[in-house]
Amino acid sequence: VTKDGAQVMAMTLDDWTVADNVKINPGNYAQVAGMEKFLAGNFSGAIADLDRSLALDPRQISNYIMRGVAKSFLGRDADAEADFSQALAYDPKSAAAHTNRGASRQLSGNTTGALEDYDAAIEVTYGQAPRASLYRYFILRRRGEAVPDLAAEVAKWDKGWGKTLGLFVTGQ
């Protein structure tokens, strides 16, 4: 995070995608404080700061996504899903919002809704949504449905960690 508003690309915490890209508004100190608390694992503090930031700029979708992930870590899955849905209301093509809402739905047992979100994330990124692809694969496999060859799917991913993850998951 820089004072001049530089972009922070695809931050992740464990298996959650925080944002497609986050545009920092250096004048919105609540946003910066919320992001710092989020990255430090202070999810309650992050939620409070992101609430203040959203009061100043309610169309900042990255704040909804960060706040939703923070709520998920605190076990507030229904609230998290609402935040991801609000982000999608402002940007229906947000792969991060689709992926995170899918994960939230999956955790609550709504695998059909999760698959819809994972498919949407894959569609809006032209197949370049590795987490959505991976989560989708596991749901389908658990259901006993036909699944794509995970190693072939992983080979399409641009990021090197995707190939490593795919080799680990497939046992190669």
Residues 130-161 have pLDDT tens digits of 788 888 888 888 888 876 666 666 565 544 44
CA pair distance 31, 116, nearest whole angstrom: 30
CB 35 within 8 A of CB 22: yes
Specify the range with the lowest mean pLDDT, choosing from 6-10, 51-55, 104-108.
Answer: 6-10
Residue 155 has what pLDDT? 61
Where does the pLDDT of residue 15 fall: very low under 50, low under 70, confident under 90, or very high at 90 and above? very low
Task: Report which DSSP code applies to 98.
Answer: H
SS percent in the chain: helix, strand, coil, step 5: 65, 5, 30
CB 157 within 8 A of CB 130: yes
- The CA R_g of the chain, rounded to the nearest whole Å, is 16
Average confidence (pLDDT) over 39-55: 94
The number of CA neighbours under 13 Å toward the Cβ of 120 is 21
Q: CB count, 10 Å around CB of 70?
A: 29
Residue 8 confidence (pLDDT) above 70? no
**3-class secondary-structure state, position 34:** helix
Q: What does pTM read for this prediction?
A: 0.72
CB 77 within 8 A of CB 108: yes
Model pLDDT for residues 63-118, shown as the tens digit of each residue: 999 999 999 999 999 999 999 999 999 999 999 999 999 999 998 899 999 999 99
Residue 154 has what pLDDT? 59
CB 124 within 8 A of CB 140: no
The residue length of the chain stands at: 172
Q: CB count, 10 Å around CB of 20?
A: 21
